[in-house]
Amino acid sequence: MSGAAKYIAMNRFTIHPGKGEAFEERWRDRETFLKEVPGFIQFRLLRLDDTHYSSYAEWESEQAFKAWTNSEAFRKAHGQGMPEGVIAGAPNLECWHVVLDGA
């Protein structure tokens, strides 16, 4: 299980109806700066339906994730914002410690 994620950070987003394309486009076009961050494993944007999405980021440890949130790379990535009228309220952050990895 080498290289398996030990910490997951997910933001749940509710967006306004009809804004899914704009939301996804913003994520595709933005610079995340994650590849330069120690401890980062992978990122995924997940869609449940037309108005519910989650960002999913895997980290080697909680400490690596917290270091990212205090970094200049984090400030640059999150300073890019989202077009007005896309998101219906603040995202909800959920952080998880991986306790079992694999089948």
pLDDT exceeds 70 at position 2: no
Q: Do the domain assignments include residue 77? A: yes
Q: Do the domain assignments include residue 103? A: no
State whether the Cα torsion 47-48-50-55 is positive or negative.
negative
With contact defined as beta carbons under 8 Å apart, do 55 and 45 qualify?
yes
Distance CA 11, CA 28 (A): 16
Q: What is the CATH number of the domain that holds 20?
A: 3.30.70.100
Strands (E), 1-103: 7-14, 40-49, 52-59, 92-97
Confidence band, pLDDT 50/70/90 cuts, at residue 4: low
Over range 68-96, report the average pLDDT: 88
Q: Do the domain assignments include residue 26? A: yes
Q: Which domain holds residue 33?
A: 7-97
Confidence band, pLDDT 50/70/90 cuts, at residue 1: very low
| Number of domains forming the structure of the chain | 1
Q: Do the domain assignments include residue 1? A: no
Distance CA 21, CA 4 (A): 31
Q: Could you report the per-residue pLDDT of 15-27, keeping only the tens digit for each?
A: 999 999 999 999 9
Percent of the chain with pLDDT over 90: 67
